[in-house]
Structure 1
Amino acid sequence: MSTSKQEMAFFPGCSLATSARENYDSLQAFCRYLGYELKEVEDWNCCGTSSAHAVNSELAFDLACRDLALMHRFDQVLVACPSCYKRLQHTFHLLTTNSQLRTIFEKKWKTTFNPHLRLLPFLRFLAQQDLTSHYGHAFHSLQGLRVVSYYGCMLSYPPNMNKDPQLYGIMEKIMKELGAEPIMWSHSLKCCGTFLSVARPDIATPLVNDIFSAAIKVGAQCLVTACSMCHLNLEVRCTIRPALPVFHFSELLALALGSGPEKDWFNRHLYDPRPLLRSIGFYA
């Protein structure tokens, strides 16, 4: 575990600040283990993802612009949520390529636009880390855990972001390095219903049940998610019993590298994953 800490600006997003607090805590613990101290962007607000961009595109654009204005002094900001990253990066792209929008931005938010700001999604941050150098004696193997990685649809970028590096496969690679058995399956990119989970559970529930059915069919013991909103939907809308446990990727990373849990994240899960972890001799 690193003793010196490098500060990194961090945009958590609404889900990590509320319904997915266990994702927030495990992410912070994992990054501290790697030697990073995450500092939230001061006074951040909802970026306009989920329902806002579907209901009022102008409002959603302004919400993301305000966050970018708050980030103007940073070179790099870690973004934990794939949906937040897509919304912020899309807005950043529009401002970069449209001088009229930049003029409006600078006048409205009374700051200069920083064209050199780098928004760093968590999975890309992971891809840059040499995790094997951090295993050491604190490494806890996830051997015996059969897992399917669920990325959801939020990593499917719009055309104007198609130059962004693809992030698929990162979770499988790291899970294998940590001793787990990543299983290939057909539903890693399927939509879980996102914000329709609230307004139209009749649509979201069949989508979620289909995802769980596919995971069960290939013999998975659990799902691991890249998106906290997906995690919530999977737990809330699944009606298949018994359901499979669902982990935030940050939870397994933190546990496997020996950095947690500082708080019992699993008390916040609707379907307790501790019996599964005990069955592989991992969690006392």
Structure 2
Amino acid sequence: MTALRILVPVKRVIDYAVKPRVNAAQTGVETAGVKMSMNPFDELSIEEAIRLRERHPTTVTDILAFSAGPAKAQDTLRTAMAMGADRALLAETDTELEPLAVAKLLQRVVKDEDRNLVILGKQSIDGDAGQTGQMLAGLLGWGQATQASAVVVGEGGRVTVTREVDGGEEVLELGLPAVVTADLRLNEPRYASLPNIMKAKKKPLVKRAVADFGVEVGARLQTVKVVEPAPRKGGGKVEDVGGLVARLKELGAL
């Protein structure tokens, strides 16, 4: 079986249990003093990479966790290593990167680190763009399978991916190298045990400035204004079907 050298991108985002608030300048979401954690879809990606090694211990030779973000993103990478990643790489920047910029960074890391399988979350819960995996596959010219609910690596390096679609499932088969994005039903991420958290502190974590990667990561989009959604209005009651029809006509729905 072809040796697997896996890259797993992870992102530091506002914890999924926290209700986001728009900042005072209305330029984005408030992050100061807010609990941050690993993007839930990226937890699935790390878990799947580890499970692939557990199923094929001699085939998966290396699992590299990568993140692009502020210095505090080291904590997210340490969590990935505590879960089972072998080492980590941080592209340090205080600027929020757009999906294309992240895809370009990942393209460079894939080439520098000689990766042949990238497993990443289908989206991050902050931007919800769901574009990075597809853009990366396009830049690399690799096959891709998005929104995976099951991943099986067979003989000859063939990757079989099951994905849920409207009304059933779709099964895709592709060869290495490949890009796979994870959906929620892919697996149940493990908790990092205390011994593994301590071991993660000794695993290699390399920090590099984004500029060192030699790719263009400048913003192409401008956020004009961010506002809270309008509060929803309460519903009303009608006495009978006739009243319902009359009300719908008033609203222009009929």
Q: TM-score, normalised by structure 1?
A: 0.30
Higher normalized helix content (fraction of residues): 1
User: Whose relative contact order is higher, 1 or 2, with alpha carbons under 8 Å and at least 6 apart?
Assistant: 2
Q: TM-score, normalised by structure 2?
A: 0.32
Higher normalized strand content (fraction of residues): 2
Bigger-Rg structure (1/2): 2
